[in-house]
């Protein structure tokens, strides 16, 4: 199976052109401060010289800076045009390595690369390119603006890719839905000694309960009612315990099944400290039955039961949902569960770390993981935008990533300081397209309120 690789990512909106990355690279690779010798090149828009870039810092606007850096291509043109075999992709790291002892300084690679990723270092007389400093790029940590990140999520894919996929191939999800990703990753991680409960919702709709008499999973799976998932799973788990068998009791439920009719059994199991891992895939509505609203649907959102347009519901401004969403994970905190966390598929490393802790906690008590899961079909956005929508939700504090244990309290796993305006999130999808300025103001107000509210939890936890 193919490997995934770590990469250096650049966010031009955050770059202010300070050039610290170029200084760090030049120092690491040449022992000088000469920006021209840096293998990462920040280029100021319309400004061509080193001094001009420094001047441009003054009036830096969004995307004022551009980047030239080797992308460590999967299909590297530099390698194909090198006549000397001096360039090659390292199968383990993905880095395109340059072998000085083979290079003949012909510069053909600089003609092959369309990204300015390999260039002549006029001082040494040889070409030079980014080698990601053996997986510890010198440029990334010195970027104080957060414009450079070293994305190492690939490690997860490489490790997990070798584990057994416990779902049947070919699940019937909507195009671009991230729930399949979540299901496969979660079950792989939890492993084969699992009993899985999937109440009505998108997860069985995709095929967890199977077709034509065979299950969609390679572990025992059952299809409880919306109302009794946690209760049934608790009973099953207790019976296994009685038989002396160590299995993980796992539920993957939708937000409807958990926050509405399923809530009494969920709350009961949490209160009794049943040993299970309850994962909620929150797509903010009953999406597989035709996109009806749930108590997790946010204010203002269009659903088929919170429509928009004139004359929708008596006396109401017919503009999507008129109530705010219930904060289910916070309710679970108030059950003092052994572990509660929120997660997002746009932050897989975080999700994995939380899964590990949740699995551990489920051995002795109730573990709850709430995953925000954008719905391409119901939220109305292009099917290639799922991760982007999920990321924007987090970057705007529309949802926040944190974890809680009774002893450590609540801890943010990603800073909630400096959020983007919530409109960056809202405009990414169609279900909010109709919003009036007042509604947007309401939502922005709620985001601020929510983040303050949760921050208070975390401060108290730290004795603040």
Partner 1 sequence: MEQTQYLIVGSSHAALEAISAIRMHDATGTLTVVTRDAHLPYSPTVLPYVVSGKSAPERVFLRDDDFFARNAVSYRPGAGLAALHADSNTAELADGTRLGYDKLLLATGTSPAIPPIPGIDTVSYHVLRTLDDALGLRDAIAQSRQAVVLGAGLVGMHAAENLVKAGASVTIVEMSDQLTAGYFDKVAAQMIEQAFTDNGAKILTGSRVVRLEPSPVGARLTLANGTTLEADLLLVATGVKPNLEYLNGSGVAFDHGILVDDTMRTSVANVWAAGDCAQAKHFFSPTPRVNAILPSATEQGRLAGMAMAGDAGIKPYPGGVPLNTYHFFGRHAISVGSSEAPEGSEVLTRFDEKTGRYLKAIFRDGRLAGIFGVNEFFDGGIMCQLIVRRMDLTADKERLVADPLKVGRELMSRTWR
Ligand X SMILES: Cc1cc2nc3c(=O)[nH]c(=O)nc-3n(C[C@H](O)[C@H](O)[C@H](O)COP(=O)(O)OP(=O)(O)OC[C@H]3O[C@@H](n4cnc5c(N)ncnc54)[C@H](O)[C@@H]3O)c2cc1C
Q: Per CB under 8 A, which region of 114-122, 327-335, 348-356, 447-455 contacts partner 1?
A: 114-122
Which member of 9, 13, 111, 172 binds partner 1 (CB under 8 A)?
111
CB-nearer residue toward ligand X: 82 or 422: 82
Of 38 and 373, CB closest to ligand SF4? 38
| Binding positions for ligand X, rule: CB under 6 A | 106, 108
Asked if 49 is part of the footprint of partner 1 (rule: CB under 8 A), the reply reads yes
Among 57, 73, 106, 156, binds partner 1 (CB under 8 A): 106
H/E run at residue 222:
strand 221-222
Establish if 107 lies at the interface with partner 1 (CB under 8 A): yes
Q: Are 175 and 30 in contact (CB under 8 A)?
A: no
Q: Which is nearer to ligand X, 106 or 168 (CB)?
A: 106
Q: Which partner, ligand SF4, ligand X, partner 1, none, binds residue 48 by CB below 5 to 8 Å per kind?
A: partner 1
- Contact indicator for 282, 295 with CB cutoff of 8 Å: no
Please list the alpha-helical segments (H only) found in 284-373: 328-333, 348-361
* Rounded-to-integer distance, Cα 201 and Cα 285, Å: 10
Structure tokens at 430: 């169609």
Shortest separation between residue 100's beta carbon and partner 1, angstroms: 12
How far apart CA 299 and CA 391 sit, in angstroms, is 20
Among 31, 46, 169, 463, binds partner 1 (CB under 8 A): 46
DSSP string of 360-413, one letter each residue: HHTTTSEEEEEEE---HHHHT--TT-HHHHHHHHHHTTSS--EEEETTTEEEES
User: Please, which residue, 106 or 331, has the CB nearer to partner 1?
Assistant: 106
Q: Any idea what DSSP says for residue 75?
A: S
Minimum CB distance to ligand SF4, residue 141 (Å) = 22
Q: Where are the beta strands (DSSP E) in 399-457?
A: 402-405, 409-412
Based on the shown chain and the rule CB under 8 A, indicate whether residue 126 belongs to the binding site for partner 1.
Answer: no
Per CB under 8 A, 463 contacts partner 1: no
Least separation in angstroms between CB 108 and ligand X: 6
Residue 87 interacts, among ligand SF4, partner 1, ligand X, none and using kind-specific CB cut-offs from 5 to 8 Å, with ligand SF4
DSSP 365: S
Q: With CB cut-offs between 5 and 8 Å by kind, which of ligand X, partner 1, ligand SF4, none does residue 76 bind?
A: ligand SF4
Least Å from the CB of residue 116 to ligand X: 19
CA angle 217, 248, 331 (to 5 degrees): 105
What's the start-to-end Cα distance of the chain, in Å?
49
Q: Distance between CA 220 and CA 195 in Å, rounded?
A: 5
Question: What CA–CA distances, in Å, run from 410 to 133, 377, 405, 446, 453?
Answer: 36, 33, 7, 20, 12
**Which SS3 state, helix, strand or coil, does residue 347 take?**
coil
From ligand X, partner 1, ligand SF4, none, interface partner of 197 (C-beta below 5 to 8 A by class): none
Rounded Cα distance, 42 and 44, in Å = 7
Looking at the Cβ atoms of 107 and 154, the one nearer to ligand X is 107
Judged by CB under 8 A, which of 17, 19, 44, 200 binds partner 1? 44
Instruction: Identify which of residues 15 and 95 has a Cβ nearer to partner 1 in the complex.
Output: 15
- Residue 193 makes CB contacts below 8 A (sequence gap 6+) with 219, 246, 247, 248
DSSP-derived pairing of the beta strands 194-197 and 248-254 = parallel
407 binds, among partner 1, ligand SF4, ligand X, none (CB under 5 to 8 A by kind): none
Binding site for partner 1 (CB under 8 A): 41, 43-46, 48-49, 66-68, 77, 80-81, 83-85, 101-102, 104-108, 110-116, 119-120, 122, 125
């Amino acid at each position: 199976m193919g490997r995934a690789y770590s990469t250096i990512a650049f966010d031009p909106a955050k770059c202010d052109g300070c050039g610290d990355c170029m200084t760090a690279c030049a120092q690491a690779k040449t022992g000088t401060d000469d920006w021209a010798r840096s293998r990462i090149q920040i280029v100021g828009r319309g400004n061509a010289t080193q001094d001009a870039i420094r001047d441009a810092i003054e009036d830096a606007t969004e995307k004022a800076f551009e980047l030239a850096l080797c992308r460590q291509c999967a299909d590297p043109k530099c390698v194909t045009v090198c006549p000397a075999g001096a360039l090659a992709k390292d199968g383990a790291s993905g880095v395109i390595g340059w072998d000085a002892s083979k290079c003949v300084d012909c510069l053909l690679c600089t003609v092959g690369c369309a990204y300015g990723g390999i260039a002549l270092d006029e001082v040494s007389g040889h070409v030079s390119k980014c080698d990601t400093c053996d997986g510890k790029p010198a440029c990334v940590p010195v970027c104080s603006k957060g414009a450079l990140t070293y994305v190492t999520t690939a490690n997860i894919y490489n490790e997990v890719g070798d584990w057994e996929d416990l779902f049947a191939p070919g699940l019937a999800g909507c195009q671009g839905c991230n729930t399949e990703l979540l299901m496969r990753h979660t079950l792989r991680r939890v492993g084969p000694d699992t009993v899985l409960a999937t109440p009505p919702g998108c997860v069985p709709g995709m095929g967890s309960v199977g077709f034509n008499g065979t299950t969609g999973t390679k572990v025992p799976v059952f299809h409880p009612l919306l109302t009794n998932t946690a209760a049934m799973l608790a009973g099953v788990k207790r019976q296994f315990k009685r038989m002396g068998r160590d299995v993980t009791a796992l539920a993957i439920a939708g937000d409807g099944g958990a926050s509405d009719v399923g809530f009494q059994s969920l709350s009961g199991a949490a209160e009794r400290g049943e040993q299970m891992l309850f994962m909620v895939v929150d797509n903010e509505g009953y999406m597989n039955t035709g996109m009806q609203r749930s108590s997790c649907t946010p204010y203002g959102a269009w659903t088929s039961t919170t429509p928009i347009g004139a004359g929708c519901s008596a006396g109401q401004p017919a503009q999507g949902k008129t109530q705010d969403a219930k904060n289910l994970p916070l309710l679970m905190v108030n059950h003092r569960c052994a572990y509660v966390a929120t997660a997002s598929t746009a932050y897989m490393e975080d999700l994995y770390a939380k899964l590990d802790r949740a699995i551990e906690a489920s051995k002795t008590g109730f573990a709850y993981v709430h995953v925000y899961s954008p719905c391409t079909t119901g939220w109305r956005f292009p099917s290639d935008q799922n991760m982007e929508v999920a990321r924007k939700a987090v970057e705007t504090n529309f949802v926040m990533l944190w974890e809680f244990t009774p002893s450590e309290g609540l801890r943010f796993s990603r800073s909630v300081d400096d959020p983007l305006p919530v409109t960056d999130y809202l405009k990414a999808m169609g279900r909010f397209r109709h919003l009036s300025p007042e509604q947007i103001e309401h939502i922005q107000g709620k985001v601020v309120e929510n983040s303050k509210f949760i921050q208070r939890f975390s401060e108290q936890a730290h004795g603040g």
